[in-house]
């Protein structure tokens, strides 16, 4: 029998490995949601299980630098299967998705060149999530992959009203001095030790700045694991540093669930 409490459904400790990997028999619905930021038309995707009743935590999902592709939508669906309402936000607009690194870099830099506008674009996605009737706006989190990991960190630095954020193989922008004492969300970083996109000195500086800012943070580092370790199709991009790791994928997804269980326990 399906539990009547959606939070219990989402956070039950005895979830099977199949559920963790997104193969649960949930009645997940989805719909496209149009919105805009600075005149840029954006399209995000909302996922929820309509068999559940009542409000439940909302999770924002931010895509990799490739754009809002099927992988980000898949992760949002998996969160809905766990009992959350999930919104896969669009950070580029105009349905821009690519498999070419040079193009991805160009689009990413257009967003990240100004941290305030970067945070504003992410906040536009969060606003779509919090507008959903089934979302408990007192229980919110965000996750991101690659560029998306850096994005959710920027949200934390900028004062977004989130309980926590999770970065999967994300970029690591350092916390700015002005964020000292003001980073409210709890932070979980899931990082591959062999990720050549993030130099060891960048990791050290990132950790030092979080400490200086007084953030509540933790980092899981997976030895020998490269960038993109959660995506089974990442090898298709033809970049040596991109490599799927099934063990790190499973462990990081489980760690996220444990983190959310603690975060939404009250």
Could you give the CA distance from residue 45 to residue 229 in angstroms, rounded to a whole number?
Answer: 23
Q: Let me know: does 150 contact 112? Beta carbons within 8 Å.
A: yes
pLDDT band at 266 (very low <50, low <70, confident <90, very high): low
Given the DSSP bridges, would you call strands 28-37 and 56-62 parallel, antiparallel or unpaired? Answer: unpaired
- Give the pLDDT mean for 156-168: 97
pLDDT band at 9 (very low <50, low <70, confident <90, very high): very low
CA 253, 258, 263, 266 dihedral sign is positive
- Give the pLDDT mean for 43-72: 97
pLDDT band at 27 (very low <50, low <70, confident <90, very high): confident
Residue 176 pLDDT greater than 60, yes or no:
yes
Domains of the chain as residue ranges with CATH: 6-11+25-263 (3.40.50.1820)
pLDDT band at 21 (very low <50, low <70, confident <90, very high): very low
Give the model's pLDDT for residue 11: 41
- Give the pLDDT mean for 78-96: 97
Q: Let me know: does 220 contact 192? Beta carbons within 8 Å.
A: no
- Give the pLDDT mean for 173-197: 97
Q: How many CA atoms lie within 13 A of 176 on its CB side?
A: 10
Q: Let me know: does 167 contact 150? Beta carbons within 8 Å.
A: yes
Given the DSSP bridges, would you call strands 135-145 and 85-88 parallel, antiparallel or unpaired? Answer: unpaired
Share of the chain above pLDDT 90, in %: 89
Residue 238, classified by CB atoms within 10 Å of its CB into exposed (0-12), middle (13-18) or buried (19+), is exposed
Could you give the CA distance from residue 197 to residue 214 in angstroms, rounded to a whole number?
Answer: 26
Residue 61 pLDDT greater than 50, yes or no:
yes
Q: pLDDT tens-digit profile of 113-151? A: 999 999 999 999 999 999 999 999 999 999 999 999 999
Q: pLDDT tens-digit profile of 214-242? A: 999 999 999 999 999 999 999 999 999 99
- Give the pLDDT mean for 247-253: 98
Nearest Cα neighbor of 209 from 164, 179, 185 is: 179
Which stretch of 51-55, 65-69, 153-157 has the lowest confidence by average pLDDT? 51-55
Residue 14 pLDDT greater than 60, yes or no:
no
Share of the chain above pLDDT 70, in %: 90
Could you give the CA distance from residue 56 to residue 66 in angstroms, rounded to a whole number?
Answer: 30
């Amino acid at each position: 029998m399906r539990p009547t409490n959606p939070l219990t459904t989402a956070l039950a400790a005895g979830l099977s490995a199949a559920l963790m990997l997104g193969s649960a028999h949930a009645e997940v619905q989805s719909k496209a949601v149009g919105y805009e930021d600075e005149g840029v038309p954006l399209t995000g995707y909302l996922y929820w299980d309509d068999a559940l009743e009542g409000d439940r935590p909302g999770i924002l999902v931010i895509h990799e630098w490739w754009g809002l592709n099927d992988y980000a939508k898949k992760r949002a669906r998996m969160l809905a299967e766990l009992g959350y309402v999930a919104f896969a936000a669009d950070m580029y607009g105009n349905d821009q998705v690519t498999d070419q690194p040079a193009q991805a870099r160009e689009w990413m830099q257009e967003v990240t060149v100004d941290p305030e506008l970067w945070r504003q674009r992410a906040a536009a996605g969060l606003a779509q999530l919090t507008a959903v009737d089934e979302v408990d706006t007192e229980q919110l989190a965000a996750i991101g992959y690659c560029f998306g990991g850096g994005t959710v960190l920027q949200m934390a630095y900028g004062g977004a009203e989130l309980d926590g954020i999770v970065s999967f193989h994300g970029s690591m922008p350092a916390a700015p001095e002005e964020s000292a004492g003001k980073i409210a969300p709890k932070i979980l970083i899931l990082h591959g030790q062999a990720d050549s996109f993030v130099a060891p000195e960048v990791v050290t500086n990132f950790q030092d700045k979080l400490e200086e800012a007084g953030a509540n943070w933790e980092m899981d580092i997976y030895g020998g694991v490269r960038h993109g370790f959660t995506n089974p199709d990442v090898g298709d991009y033809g970049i040596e540093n991109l490599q799927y790791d099934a063990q790190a994928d499973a462990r990081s997804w489980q760690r996220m669930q444990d983190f959310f269980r603690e975060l939404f326990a009250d």
